[in-house]
Structure 1
Amino acid sequence: MRYICCLAAALCGGLITADARAQSAPASASIEFETDHRERGLSWSDGKAAFGLEASLPVTYDLALDLDAVTLRDSARHGGADVGLTIAPRYTLRTGGWDMSAGVRGNVFIGRSGTSYVELTGDVARTLGPAQFVVGAAFAPAQDAIGGSNLYIDAQLSASLPGTPVTLYGGIGHTSGSSRNDPRVARLRPGGDYLDHHLGAEYTAANLAAGVRYSGTSIGADEVDSLSPWTDRHTGSRVMAYLRFTP
């Protein structure tokens, strides 16, 4: 928790500085509690409740810095790290109703050395009325921390229900990559290439949002090496709930 408190102070300070530099693109931040923190269908918090912070800091109108921090609850997937920190600068080009973004994402794991890795990211988004469609990709070149390379491609759709504070959303993704015959490849691809999917609903009232989300993968229980020190059993279907506060 001391890591989260320090990160919260840093994020708040950054918001003030960034907002002064880039008035045309307001900064944002949120605090979230969730019953399980999942990324691409895999639990990053060992199937336990997690607490996180998220902020987007504008540098210019087109360039922003996204920051995320989440408690990992000694997750085996990340070597027992205490906190996961994501640092992601991204450039967005807006034209003809389309948003096209490209950036770099650094995934840093505090409390366990040798587990951090970097991804190159890109996505294309289109908003039509209350609906938004996003197609994205994230590529991690071959790195020792993940036992090879990793490619994630996904598509997501969200839509608010007219006249209500409810938003429905869902998505599907595919993870693939190469392996160096290193057991750490199981961190992001337990059992090899796989599909993930999710469906959710969110209710928003003033600065609070509450939601429920179903998450699942194509990974079979017999495909996960139960003896691997870099994975766990939290790769299947799960229903999670979350509560988010935005100042």
Structure 2
Amino acid sequence: MRNSALVAWALLAATAVPAQAQVTPHASVEATTDERRRGISWSDGEGALAASARLDLSSGFDIGVRALTTRGDPRHGGADAVFEPTLGYSQLLGGFRLDAFATGHVFTNGDGPLDYYEGGASANYTLGPAQAGVEARYAPSQDAIGGSNLYLALRGRVGVPLTPFSFTASAGRSSGAVDDFGRAARLRPDGTYYDWSFGVQHATGPLVLTVEYTGTDIDDTRALSPFAARNNAGDRIAARAALSF
């Protein structure tokens, strides 16, 4: 599956790059006390490092990759890291920004089938210092995640005028079909669940500091699967520092 996912992404990326496209590069490095996604940890509740690179094309497409240390998380078969190639497309329409994307998740040094892919779309509306948006992500049925996965979310951000601070909030719901209960617990411990977050950010030039609370309605008192480690899906406060180039 890993090879087929990477080949498919490469073909999509090649198709998206016109011969005379103008390219704008971006890169960033990050450090976090706990990599939280949809309210659950991707780094076994430990600190993690990440780096990303992206090329924005004048056609509206972008191609990029993100690498993250997963610290041997049982959720991902003890993998050391995950690489996430992404092909995206964005368009501005009035006050809206519309995005569509396809992402692969390729894990290193883990046990069993772990790699999977997903696609999604989002719409965000900006008015002054405030932004609100909706997002949908869907992973078709795959052995590595024990079925399919659908994630729907609402997000908001409000900047404090004349200050470097902004406040963020989100709420999401994960659902999907289950073919293998154990592996489905990688992305959906305890089945269908809700997650939420509240955060504060401080941005100074290329440096963004974030403190965020995340929570879920998952019963985190029991390990339901080897891929759903205990105490990694409950309430947590995590800090993150990101530096962009």
Question: Partners of 2:147 and 2:61 in 1: how far apart?
Answer: 30
- The Cα shift of 1:60 comes to 3.3
Number of the residue aligned with 1:156: 155
Alignment partner of 1:26: what SS? strand
**Counterpart of 1:140 in structure 2: which amino acid?**
A
Question: Does structure 2 retain, via aligned residues, the 8 Å contact 1:190–1:223?
Answer: no
**SS of equivalent to 1:183:** helix
Which letter does structure 2 place at the counterpart of 1:79? G
- CA distance 1:117–1:97, shift in 2 (3 Å): same
Matched residue, 1:128? 127
In structure 2, distance between residues paired with 1:110 and 1:179: 25
Deviations 1:103-135 (A, max 9, x none): 211111112252010111111111111111120
Aligned to 1:28: 26
Following superposition, the deviation at residue 181 of structure 1 comes to 3.3
In structure 1, the partner of 2:92 is: 94
Superposition CA RMSD, Å: 1.8
Q: Does 1:147 align with 2:170?
A: no
Paired AA for residue 163 in structure 1: L
1:4 paired residue number: none
Instruction: Name the residue aligned to 1:194.
Output: 193
Partner of 2:106: 108
Residue 176 of structure 2 is aligned to residue 177 of structure 1: yes
Cα distance, 1:224 vs structure 2: 4.2
Q: Mean Cα displacement is larger for which, 152-161 or 204-213?
A: 204-213
Other structure's SS at 1:168 match: strand
**Match of 2:228?**
231
1:46-125 equivalent positions in 2, closer than 5 A: 46-112=44-110, 114-125=113-124
1:192 counterpart SS class = coil
Q: 1:168, CA displacement in angstroms? A: 0.9
The separation in 2 between residues aligned to 1:66 and 1:237, in whole angstroms, is 31
Question: For residue 242 of structure 1, what is the aligned residue in structure 2?
Answer: 240
Return the letter of the residue paired with 1:231. A
Deviation >6 Å, runs of 4+: none
3-state SS, counterpart of residue 221 of structure 1: coil
Residue identity in the other structure for 1:167:
S
**How far apart in 1 are the matches of 2:44 and 2:212?**
17
1:37 partner letter: E
Q: CA deviation at 1:54?
A: 2.2
**1:204-224 per-position Cα deviation (integer Å, ceiling 9, x unaligned):** 223222121101001022464
Name the SS for the 1:162 alignment partner: coil
| Distance in structure 1 (CA, Å) of the matches to 2:89 and 2:62 | 7
User: Is this contact kept in 2: 1:154–1:172, CA < 8 A?
Assistant: yes
1:134 counterpart letter in structure 2: G
**Any unmatched runs of 5+ in structure 1?**
1-17
Contact 1:191 1:223 in 2 (8 A): no
Distance across 2 between alignment mates of 1:72 and 1:92:
29
Question: In the comparison of the two structures, how many residue pairs are matched?
Answer: 226
Gaps of 5+ in 2: 1-16
Report the equivalent of 1:213.
212
**1:189 to partner: Cα distance:** 0.6
**2:80–2:109 contact (8 Å) kept in structure 1:** yes
Question: Percent same amino acid among aligned pairs?
Answer: 37
Aligned partner of residue 105 in structure 1, secondary structure: strand
Q: Provide the rounded CA distance (Å) in 1 between the counterparts of 2:57 and 2:30.
A: 24
TM-score by length of 2: 0.87
Task: Indicate how the Cα distance of structure 1 residues 146 and 28 shifts in structure 2: closer, same or farther if over 3 A, else same.
Answer: same
Kept after mapping to 2: 8 A contact 1:191/1:224: no
Deviation track 1:181-238 (CA, whole Å, cap 9, x = no partner) reads 341011001100000001111112232221211010010224641xx21111200000
TM-score, length of structure 1 as denominator length: 0.86
CA distance in 2, matches of 1:131, 1:68: 27
